[in-house]
Structure 1
Amino acid sequence: MGFQPAANGMATEPLVPSNDGERPLTVLVTGFGPFQDRFPVNPSYEILKLLPSTFTCLSGEKEIQIIAYHHPIRVSYEEVRRLVPVIHASYPQGVDLILHIGMASGRTFYTAERSAHRDGYEKNKDVDGQTLAADHGQTFFGDCDPILRTSLDYERVLQRWKWNLQNVPESSAAYGADCRGSDDAGHYLCDYIYFNSLAWLARNPTPRADGAANERPVMFLHVPAESDPRMLYKGKEVALALIEAMVESWIESTDAEMV
């Protein structure tokens, strides 16, 4: 089965039917491209490329398809604002959850972000040397709250993510990984793509199979800047553990609403 063309002509990943013929639960993942001369390799996109296309969770009962966005996103405010709506619209069959991955230089730990900011991007320049005007958020996102949060049960996801990683074998690359929660995504491109994605989903809720709307089933993962093979495989396992936690929390909340 090949790629399915979207309405805008971009190629999208096919949704592969599960063994029982049902549409699999899908998770879209994005990563960033190079950042300045110091980081010619951005680990976020390299980690994305290592993720499997499918895996199972909930003791093997649920098949998950990971859709890796096929191009690293430039560390550019203008590019992110232009591209996020295109990415979302490029999957006419819909995706269930979204994980954006980005790099946090100077950190040795991994953070799952709860919130994203509309304002406060006047200081930190992107790869084009650009910042955003103080009124940018109000101009483009005036219909959105200054802070948007994932609609997933963040505390449940965080707890399950850590539990998943605490129970990996010693042979796993992610054994002993330091994973933390965070309520400040940093007022830079990571924060900005997270807000843009949350805003798009808030404006364009996707119906679930049970008829309810997934308001903002999206999260952001910050990873350390190191891009050697050991750290990339560690990041892959950490990201996969977070995706599994997101999926399991989402399924549990969906099942609870249908009772």
Structure 2
Amino acid sequence: MTDKQDMGSENRPSVLITGFGPFGEHSINASWIAVQNVKKRNLLADLDVHIQEIPVDYQEVSQVVPALWKQKNPQLVVHVGVSGLANKITLEQQGHNAGYHRKDVKGQTPPKECCREEGEECLSAGIDMSRISEEINKAENELQAEVSHDAGRYLCDFSFYVSLSIDKSRCAFIHVPPLNQPYTEDQLGEGLALAIRAMLRQLSEQRDSNKAL
């Protein structure tokens, strides 16, 4: 972590968590419900948590996500999205630059259907998501997690690639299932909190390892 990264209030680690607004059949987006649940129930009370709802809009994501990084400069950024295909807490390992032909809520696609012209085809997160998945799965609760390498070539994948382009060492994307399919709002919030704590531990280990070099 650089000196400029925000350690938050009273030197607590600062975490930015985003969820998405409504789109398509998801008139209530489980991702934003889950993110709000984390904040509402103080599941990360020892951290300086910032939450933000982001519209399912390519142009908005292109502008808002970099602005949030600059404004908050958090130790960790976690984007959360909903997937009708998911039945577990799904941890995305990589984001993709191109293939964005699905229209957003404004009926638009990004220029040339890509995130960044001449950007790398794929960017991988520095956080080892398989380790995060293992930690969630061994916790004493009903939650199950898995790792994915395809975030879907829609706003979820797009937002993840934007953040990976800024700093792939300290960002993540988590897909959650729709509400009650099978997890309740509280279970989703608990799953996010578990994942975020595991990510922060891994980042701390990496910093300690770098200091030892």
Q: Same fold (TM over 0.5)?
A: yes
Corresponding residue for 1:205? none
Q: 2:23 aligns with which of 35, 57, 71?
A: 35
Corresponding residue for 1:16? 9
8 Å contact kept, 1:43–1:227 = no
2:49 aligned with 1:66: yes
Q: Give 1:231 shift.
A: 1.5
Q: Give 1:54 shift.
A: 6.6
Q: Give 1:89 shift.
A: 1.4
**Residues 125 and 135 of structure 1: is their aligned pair in 2 closer, same or farther, counting only changes over 3 Å?**
closer
8 Å contact kept, 2:92–2:149 = yes
Q: 2:66 aligns with which of 77, 81, 85?
A: 85
Q: Which has the higher helix share?
A: 2
Partner of 2:169: helix, strand, or coil? coil
Corresponding residue for 1:181? 147
Corresponding residue for 1:109? 88
Deviations 1:47-81 (A, max 9, x none): 1111145747xxxxxx4332222xx2110111111
Q: Give 1:227 shift.
A: 6.2
8 Å contact kept, 1:158–1:245 = no
- Unaligned stretches of 5+ in structure 2? 1-5
Corresponding residue for 2:170? 217
8 Å contact kept, 1:99–1:220 = yes
Q: Give 1:116 shift.
A: 0.2
**Identity score, percent:** 26
8 Å contact kept, 1:121–1:133 = no
Q: Provide TM-score, normalisation by structure 1.
A: 0.72
C-alpha separation in 2, matches of 1:14 and 1:149:
25
Corresponding residue for 2:137? 162
2:166 aligned with 1:200: yes
- Unaligned stretches of 5+ in structure 1? 1-12, 18-22, 57-62, 169-174, 202-214
